Structure 1
Amino acid sequence: MFRRAMWKTLGFVGYTVQYGCIAHCAFEYIGEFVVCSGPSMEPTIVNHDIVFSERMSRHLCRIQKGDVVVAKSPFDPNMNICKRVIGLEGDKICTSMTSDLFKTHTYVPKGHIWLEGDNLRNSTDSRNYGPIPYALIRGRVCLKLWPPNNFGSLNESPTGRIIKTEKD
């Protein structure tokens, strides 16, 4: 009787470990569900929207200008940020505001990207902390799941800051 209970328990633990490994691999290499908070991506993503962030683009180096990505915060590794890719390595970015008299530009260094929120007036992004390493990208947001009336792919940037070049 004791042996039978022990084997059942070990079998249950074995299945739990197997399913846990499968779930871990799915969330690490395929994608994850993300609850977004904060106003930085409004009107594209508002507070408490739920999105699906796929991980394959990151692993295949397929992140492009205009994509919305989830990345580790360069200030706090325990926090994720959700921003739009404005520039890739080698791109020249105008870092000054439209009202500034003198325009300043920054080149995005190799292995880095430039991120900005769609709500430029209320976003802490690369304009504050500079380009971030590509390695901090966790995934590309490809689908908005919640609320149901906004289900679907994401809209293009409302800021008009993304300029596609010939090499894109």
Structure 2
Amino acid sequence: MASSFWSIASRQALNSGLFLTKLYCFLHVTTNYLGFMAYAYGPSMIPTLHPSGNVLLAERISKRYQKPSRGDIVVIRSPENPKKTPIKRVIGIEGDCISFVVDPVKNDKSQTIVVPKGHVFVQGDYTHNSRDSRTFGPVPYGLIQGRVLWRVWPFQDFGPLGPTPT
């Protein structure tokens, strides 16, 4: 009787372990190669995103096969703090000549740069309150984590977030 208890218990533990292993593998493949949920908050992407917070669905598939386009909203690994993943809009791609106001709050001093090969120039939609390529320079392709496809929350704004012409 005791041996049947242990055989049932070990079978259940093995089945549970296999299920958890399969679940982990599925989540790992999904988030590392297909897509992931991103959380955006703060004023830098007003009016596209709400400053109080948005849950977004970002995809990783196309970044492996094509370069980002002007107008895409992307999740990047911050060049200043690798623990942060800001969400910004691609304003310029490699080879583009970009002119921008360095700090629109303080003065109207402008600067012009050419985006280097293998980089993009990103900027928040609300330029008066955004840390972006104007501060830390063009972002290498390797720091792009994914392209934002959908707004999931707040639910009343659920829907696609496609590129906007710049």
TM-score, reference length from structure 2: 0.87
Match of 1:151 among 150, 155, 158: 158
What amino acid is the match of 2:160? S
Residue 64 of structure 1 aligns with which residue?
A: 69
Distance 2:22 2:74 in 1: 30
Distance in 2 (alpha carbons) for counterparts of 1:27 and 1:73: 19
Answer with 2-11 or 48-57: which moved more. 2-11
Paired residue for 1:132? 139
Structure 2 counterpart of 1:147, one-letter code: P
State the secondary structure of the residue aligned to 2:147: strand
Query: Amino acid of the residue matched to residue 104 of structure 1?
Result: Q
In structure 1, give the amino acid aligned to 2:86.
I
Unaligned runs of 5+ residues in structure 1 are 163-168
Query: What is the distance in 2 between the residues matched to 1:105 and 1:9?
Result: 63
- Alignment correspondent of 1:90: 95
Larger radius of gyration: 2
Q: Report % sequence identity.
A: 37
Residues 44 and 155, structure 1, Cα contact 8 Å, conserved in 2:
no
Which structure's residues are more often helix, by fraction?
A: 2
Asked if residue 116 in structure 1 is aligned to residue 123 in structure 2, the reply is yes
Match among 78, 93, 105 for residue 73 of structure 1: 78
| Residue aligning to 1:28 | 32
Structure 1 residue runs of 4+, over 6 Å off?
A: none
Could you tell me how far 1:155 is from its partner in structure 2?
A: 6.6
CA distance in 2, matches of 1:93, 1:23: 39
Alpha-carbon distance, 1:156 to partner: 5.8
Report the CA distance between 1:56 and its aligned residue. Answer: 1.1
List alignment gaps of at least 5 residues for structure 2.
none
- How many residues matched? 158
> Deviation string for 1:22-48 (max 9, x for gaps)?
111111111111221111001101131
Q: SS state of the match for residue 44, structure 2? A: coil
